[in-house]
């Protein structure tokens, strides 16, 4: 048995054990003006609370420099393509045909016109706007020309159908260039919109997918080979003058700006090709990361990519030999085509309709357009009111980004955040208690042996 002194020690240890087990642990305060510095972590945000001061530290390394302005989701099937002219966005919708949106207010794109021209299988897949006419590639149902002078009542002017699968279209003056799967490139005279007629064809076999034009040249991509350049100075006798073989990936789309052709090559990303010498094309560089790049639009030193599975990607191409990713915006659903106009990106977002994404110079998750037109915040200052919270976060939480006295209340950590600490402490104390208990017992036995 224990000696009298050992019994007191044992009672003290038992008391100490249960005191620690049941005693309340220090709690985190909700107050922004605690006398102690307290920290609370919530995903990527670190809030530091100090006396009379609230600081927000947010890593800019993981933020985008483009943010969502709005999303239009009135698609009847799937929005495949978008073309923007001034304050109107024109959509190629799988089951809805041609859709016209008024985007005067980018936060509330408003449908003002629609022309149903759905095809038997896919329907409207790509379009091009020239003056008061929309030219539609309508897959198995051929080509369409629609009068859009009255935006609220677009009218079908004519149809043209010669071969299966009209997939893409580019228009210049009186000529429309349609890619067809099976019949190559068709050149159609559209000077008389009511009676379009084919005047030439370029077909070297293969699987012609996309088309773009610049000056006297037409650029097409063949899914099985690569980029081809066609001289159309003599419009009735198109002549191939250049070729670039894409060895890996599939060339889904091409866009040309000055002396560079940008080729979206699916899983292989984006290729940049020097086209200054049409007969001797030189690959400048390639950008590749996970995803599938299916469309591209360039504006000076910036390239916008439609990643089918990941939404929008933005590249800096000031150094054409080394394109650098500088931003992105993830979207659910498939992203098919991209269009850029005046610091705003329009992304054809499949079943989710149209995503409108704006530049965000101060990386506060609030597009410049929203800061200037809606919230009257500073687009060059991520924390307009200086209260320690980024403007975008304040909008999300329902507080005023222009009022330093109105800021989000940070919740206390949930019980699970402190339970680990508490049970860890109990384990340590229990271990110490057991160790002391056995030390006392061993010493007692040693005393008996003496």
Please report the DSSP string for 102-170 in residue order: E-SSTTS-EEEEEE----SSS---EEEEETTEEEEE-BTT-EEEEE-SSTTS-EEEEEE-SSS-EEEEE
Terminal Cα-to-Cα distance of the chain (whole angstroms): 16
Question: Residues 290, 176: one domain?
Answer: yes
Q: Is the domain of 80 the same as that of 189?
A: yes
In a domain, 169, yes or no: yes
Answer yes or no: is 12 within a domain: no
**8 Å CB contact between 278 and 241:** yes
In terms of domains, do 203 and 323 share one?
yes
Q: Do 308 and 291 touch, CB atoms closer than 8 A?
A: yes
User: What domain range is 181 assigned to?
Assistant: 66-359
Residue 236: count other Cβ atoms within 10 Å of its Cβ. Answer: 10
How is 183-229 classified by DSSP, letter by letter? Answer: TEEEEEE-SSTTS-EEEEEE--SS-EEEEEEETTEEEEEETTSEEEE
Could you give the CA distance from residue 135 to residue 140 in angstroms, rounded to a whole number? 15
46: in domain: no
Domain boundary among 359, 392, 422: 359
Query: Is 353 among the domain residues?
Result: yes
Q: Which CATH number belongs to the domain containing residue 227 in this structure?
A: 2.130.10.10
Residues in the chain where the model's pLDDT stays below 70: 1-64, 118-122, 163-164, 411-450
41 in a domain, yes or no? no
| pTM exceeds 0.85 for this model | no
Kindly state the tokens that stand for 393. Answer: 């976060």
Q: 135 lies in a domain?
A: yes
Q: Is 48 part of a structural domain of the chain?
A: no
Does the residue 16 lie in any domain?
no
Nearest CA among 342, 341, 343 for reference residue 359: 343
Q: Which of 359, 381, 400 is the last residue of a domain?
A: 359
Spell out the residues 6+ positions from residue 324 whose beta carbon is closer than 8 angstroms to its own: 315, 316
Q: Which H or E run contains 74?
A: none
Do 337 and 325 form a contact (C-beta atoms < 8 A)? Answer: no
CB 336 within 8 A of CB 348: yes
Closest CA to 192 of 157, 218, 168: 157
Round to whole Å and give the CA distance between 71 and 89.
Answer: 13
3-state DSSP call for residue 327?
Answer: strand
Final residue of a structural domain among 321, 344, 359: 359
Domain check: are 160 and 294 in the same one? Answer: yes
Whether 152 and 297 map to the same domain: the answer is: yes
Burial of 73 (0-12, 13-18, 19+ CB in 10 A): middle
122, 230: one domain: yes
CA distance 99 to 277: 39
The angle that helices 415-449 and 4-22 make with each other, rounded to 10 degrees, is: 170
Full strand arrangement of the beta sheet holding 293-299: 293-299, 302-307, 311-316, 324-329
- Is residue 315 domain-shared with residue 443, that is, in the same domain? no
Look at residue 19 in the predicted model and tell me its pLDDT: 53
Same domain, 130 and 271: yes
For residue 125, the tally of other CB atoms under 10 A from its CB is 23
430 with 333, same domain: the answer is no
pLDDT at 61: 32
pLDDT at site 60: 33
Query: Looking at the structure, do residues 417 and 351 belong to the same domain, yes or no?
Result: no
d(CA 47, CA 55) in angstroms, rounded, equals: 6
Looking at the structure, tell me whether residues 291 and 354 fall in a common domain: yes
Domain count for the chain, please give it. Answer: 2
Task: Identify whether residues 352 and 425 lie together within a single domain.
Answer: no
């Amino acid at each position: 048995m224990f000696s009298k002194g050992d019994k007191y020690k044992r009672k003290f240890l038992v008391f100490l054990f249960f005191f620690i087990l049941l005693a309340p642990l220090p709690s985190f305060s909700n107050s922004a003006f605690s006398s102690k510095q307290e920290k609370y972590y919530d995903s990527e945000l670190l809030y530091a609370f100090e006396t009379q001061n609230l600081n927000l530290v947010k890593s800019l390394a993981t933020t985008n420099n483009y943010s969502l302005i709005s999303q239009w989701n009135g698609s009847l099937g799937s929005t495949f393509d978008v073309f923007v002219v001034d304050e109107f966005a024109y959509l190629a919708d799988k089951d809805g045909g041609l859709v016209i949106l008024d985007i005067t207010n980018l936060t509330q794109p408003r449908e003002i016109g629609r022309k149903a021209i759905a095809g038997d299988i896919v329907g409207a897949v790509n379009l091009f706007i020239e003056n008061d006419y929309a030219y539609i590639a309508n897959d198995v149902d051929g080509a369409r020309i629609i009068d859009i002078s009255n935006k609220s009542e677009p009218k079908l002017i004519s149809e043209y159908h010669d071969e299966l699968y009209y997939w893409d279209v580019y228009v210049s003056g009186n000529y429309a260039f349609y890619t067809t799967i099976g019949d190559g490139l068709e050149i159609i005279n559209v000077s008389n919109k009511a009676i379009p007629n084919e005047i030439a064809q370029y077909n070297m076999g293969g699987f012609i997918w996309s088309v773009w034009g610049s000056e006297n040249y037409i650029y097409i991509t063949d899914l099985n080979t690569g980029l081809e350049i066609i001289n159309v100075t003599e419009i009735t006798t198109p002549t191939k003058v250049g070729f670039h073989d894409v060895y890996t990936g599939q060339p889904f789309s091409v866009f040309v700006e000055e002396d560079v052709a940008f080729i979206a090559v699916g899983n292989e990303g984006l290729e940049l090709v020097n086209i200054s010498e049409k007969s001797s094309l030189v690959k400048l560089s390639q950008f590749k990361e996970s995803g599938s790049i299916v469309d591209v639009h360039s504006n000076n030193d910036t390239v916008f990519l439609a990643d089918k599975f990941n939404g929008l990607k933005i590249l800096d191409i000031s150094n054409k030999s080394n394109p650098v990713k500088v931003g992105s915006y993830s979207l659910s659903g498939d992203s098919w085509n991209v269009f850029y106009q005046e610091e705003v990106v329009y992304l054809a977002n499949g079943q989710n309709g149209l995503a409108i994404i704006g530049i965000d110079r101060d990386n506060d998750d609030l597009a410049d357009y929203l800061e200037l037109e809606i919230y009257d915040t500073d687009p060059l200052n991520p924390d307009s009111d200086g209260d320690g919270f980024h403007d975008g976060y304040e909008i999300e939480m329902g507080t005023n980004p222009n009022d330093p006295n109105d800021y989000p209340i940070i919740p206390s950590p949930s019980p699970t955040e402190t339970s680990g600490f508490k049970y860890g402490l109990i384990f340590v104390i229990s271990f110490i208690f057991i160790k002391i208990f056995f030390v006392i017992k061993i010493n007692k036995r040693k005393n008996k042996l003496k």
